[in-house]
Amino acid sequence: MATFLHRVAHWAFRRRRTVVLVWVAVLAAVFLGAVNSSEAPEDSASLPGIESQQAFDLLDERFPGTEADGAQARVVFVAEDGQRVTSTASRSAIDTLVDAVADGPQVAEATSPFDAHAVSEDASTAYATITYETTAEDLSEASKEALTEAVEQARDTGLTVEVGGSALETEPAQGIGEVLGILVAAVVLLITFGSLAAAGLPLLTAVLGVGISLATITALGSALGFSSTVGELAMMLGLAVGIDYSLFVVSRYREERAKGHQAQEAAALSVGTAGSAVVFAGLTVVIALLGLSVVGVPTLTKMGVGSAGTVLVGVLIALTAVPALLGFWPDAVLPRRDRKGRRRTRTRHPGRFGGNRKGTAPAGTARTPWGVRWARFVTRRPVAVLLLTVVGLGALAIPSLNLRMGMPGAESKPTTTTERRAYDALADGFGPGFNGPLTVVVDVKGADDPAAAVTGVSDRLAGTEGIVSVSPPHFNEAKDTAVVSAIPSTGPASEQTQDLVRTIRDERPAIESATGAEFQVTGTTALNIDVGRKMQDALVPYLAVVVGLAFLLLMVVFRSILVPVKAALGFLLSVGAALGAIVTVFQEGHGAGLFGVEETGPIMSTMPIFLVGIVFGLAMDYQVFLVSRIREAHIHGEQPGQAVVTGFRHSAQVVGAAALIMMAVFGGFMTGGESMVKMAGFGLASAVFFDAFVVRMAFVPAVLALLGRRAWWLPGRLDRLLPRVDVEGEALTRRAPAPNGASGDDDRQESVRV
């Protein structure tokens, strides 16, 4: 692997103009494809294999001409204090609105609250239901404008009018995540490298990779069903890994130049060594993302595929575009003092590129890097550090035991939106359960008396504890299917409502036996239960596939059994602490205001498995980058404890900078309004912090120090079976020419060749 990548980088350095032109041509081609592509589809809510989805499918089949997920608007009217919506003036305004909307385009039915008995007991609140012939994404602007104009006219009469449902759903506010992440990344890179060029090169290549990936996703959006959410996640990951992968190559290039290698050989060595780590780190991320397809949720599968493609583009750019750009400006990425020293050296000794690592500074005057000081501290006290990290992360993970999963609804929206105000008004006027009705689809195709069978089901539902009311059944034209709406006494996110759904389903065999009708339960609460169960059932096989493949990959990379086991245990600590942080902020509300979280509630059902997948890939990034340098020192003859110190000398600062950049990119996406993206940004930023600064910087060196040489043990037979990929670049060490003009270093460990 190292030798092959060494040749690739040599070629890219020599043919730098060709390489850059090819990447620019690729960007132009996919951009043209994106411009001429069809509009991206909306996120699909289809979840095959669950009862709620089966009920929706049955509705689509038995009620032709109307879609179960068709657009709907619930217009809520609230009278002024002390007045009633049944007054002559209010009733006239409501009837006018219903009549105006009924004549609008794409409207299937507009039901007045006075015809549907949709008036609260105190007559302070009422609602009209507007049903459309098409889905929300296909609703025309003319239909939306007609509804908006009618609402505004009703408001002019003094009524408070709010609109819930999907017809006029407010688009989430766009944040500044991309800009904020890039700005913070630029600052971190500038501080780390002390060079504008060194800071700018990873940013440039990351933006190039994200541009190519987003344009490709847009171009293929219609054909493969990639929605805007796929693109947003791809952008988030693409910026993070794109910057990090280029950062590791540039950092290694500066290190090789400091050893005295000429620019072309330094670029080739950096790609042959750090580039090998980039390849295997990228593969672990890709495995984790593609593994999302195991879950069986189409939306997650598409998000995984789109993001995996973005990571692959980032890897390819780090291996080809970075050495090509280094060829244009070979000295620009070096520290200022090194550049000045090299200019003086060229003046006195043309053709020589020597110089010590600190330029003109005398040997022995450099301060010991913080990574070295920290590694020495950990290796001297491994037991105490290990206990502290495990107990600390375990304590942070405790709130995850109270995890409640659900799907975000109007209750999670800010109070500035009309959907949220409509939700609150209905809860005040009709009770908390009104916003989460249970939709019961009754199949009476095999019943002797369909009407009596449906009545029997309705009566049983009405007699269930926790049900406030049951609506009259609505039959289809064939009279073989009916829909009944049951209103719970508690809200849709309440645990009591979830228990109610389970109770109804548990009692179903007895009800079906007594009535001769079959029925299925759907609706928001039932959907939350079904999705949560599907995610839980999929978690174990998902982890088995992803962790199993990654374990084999890491065993090949590190030629060890215990190191991959340690990596997996560290990942579990990271993801557990991250889930605990999400529950603490987004569910329990502690510190929610600090992170811009306006409403708390259940955690999105897909969030845990989504977090597990992405965090696993990112955690393995740091595992490969950090531990590969430790193994590199070990195979060159260093004692285990000293190898840990050497590995930290060369990689701790860069890994820390990479983690800060990832945290900035992910945290920046919290500035948006999309709840899933905001929660994902917070969870990923938290997980990166725990993994990079606690697990990799404390847990890993402590475990390696305790294991000693046993950490690199591999049975002889397995050693012969596994392929050798040479991530450490041992073959390059044997064949690389001596640095031209290389000088000694103030620390013996700095001279370790890769």
CA distance 588 to 453: 44
CA distance 640 to 701: 10
Whole-number pLDDT of residue 680: 79
For 32, the enclosing helix (H) or strand (E) is: helix 16-35
pLDDT confidence band for 77 (50 / 70 / 90) = very high
The pLDDT tens digits for 527-554 are 878 887 888 788 788 888 877 887 888 8
Whole-number pLDDT of residue 361: 42
pLDDT confidence band for 26 (50 / 70 / 90) = very high
pLDDT confidence band for 358 (50 / 70 / 90) = very low
Could you give phi then psi for residue 160, rounded to 5 degrees? Answer: -90, 120
Lowest mean pLDDT across 175-179, 544-548, 675-679: 175-179
CA distance 174 to 166: 19
Residue with tokens 């290796």: 379
CA distance 666 to 240: 8
The pLDDT tens digits for 445-463 are 878 888 899 999 999 999 8
Extract the runs of DSSP E, i.e. beta strands, from 337-446: 405-406, 438-443
- Among 183-192, 355-364, 472-481, top mean pLDDT goes to 472-481
Token readout for 467 is 């049900």
CA distance 611 to 542: 12
Residue with tokens 């005398």: 362
CB of 585 closer than 8 Å to CB of 276: no
CA distance 67 to 603: 28
State the greatest distance between any 2 C-alpha atoms of the chain, in Å, as a whole number: 104
- The pLDDT > 90 percentage for the chain reads 21
**pLDDT surpasses 90 at 624:** no
Of 577, 3, 653, 662, give the one whose Cα is nearest residue 368.
653
- Chain-wide mean pLDDT for the chain? 81
Go through 72-91 and write b for each residue having 16 or more CB atoms within 10 A of its CB, e for each that does not.
bbbbbbbbeeeebbeeeebb
Token readout for 318 is 């780090």
CA distance 337 to 345: 12
Here the contacts of 336-339 (C-beta below 8 Å, separation 24 or greater) are 336/194, 336/195, 337/361, 338/257, 338/258
The pLDDT tens digits for 11-24 are 999 999 999 999 99
Which residue has better confidence, 95 or 525? Answer: 95
Report the chain's terminal Cα–Cα distance, integer Å.
Answer: 14
**pLDDT surpasses 80 at 737:** no
Of 541, 559, 610, give the one whose Cα is nearest residue 722.
559
**pLDDT surpasses 80 at 69:** no
DSSP character string of 535-602: HHHHHHHHHHHHHHHHHHHHHHHH--SHHHHHHHHHHHHHHHHHHHHHIIIIIS-TTGGGGT-----P
Of 170, 166, 225, give the one whose Cα is nearest residue 674.
170
254-268 average pLDDT score? 87
Whole-number pLDDT of residue 744: 37
pLDDT confidence band for 742 (50 / 70 / 90) = very low
Whole-number pLDDT of residue 17: 93
* Chain centroid to CA 114: 46
The pLDDT tens digits for 584-605 are 988 888 887 777 676 777 788 8
Whole-number pLDDT of residue 750: 34
Per-residue DSSP letter, 295:
G
**pLDDT surpasses 50 at 751:** no
CA distance 402 to 221: 37
For residue 717, count CB atoms less than 10 angstroms from its CB and return exposed for 0-12, middle for 13-18, buried for 19 or more.
exposed
pLDDT confidence band for 172 (50 / 70 / 90) = low
CA distance 436 to 166: 15
Token readout for 216 is 């490709």
233-252 average pLDDT score? 84
Type of residue numbered 429: G
SS3 522: strand
**pLDDT surpasses 60 at 430:** yes
Whole-number pLDDT of residue 503: 92
CB of 318 closer than 8 Å to CB of 252: no
119-135 average pLDDT score? 88
pLDDT confidence band for 668 (50 / 70 / 90) = confident
Which residue has better confidence, 251 or 405? Answer: 251
Bridge partners for 483 per DSSP: 441, 474
422-426 average pLDDT score? 90
Whole-number pLDDT of residue 352: 40
**pLDDT surpasses 60 at 233:** yes
Of 175, 249, 185, 244, give the one whose Cα is nearest residue 209.
244
Of 130, 59, 111, give the one whose Cα is nearest residue 475.
59
Whole-number pLDDT of residue 259: 83
pLDDT confidence band for 314 (50 / 70 / 90) = very high
Could you give phi then psi for residue 125, rounded to 5 degrees? Answer: -140, 145
Note the residue count of the chain: 754
The 3-class SS string of 95-163 reads HHHHHHHHCCCCEEEEECCCCCCCECCCCCEEEEEEEEEEEHHHCCHHHHHHHHHHHHHHHCCCCEEEE
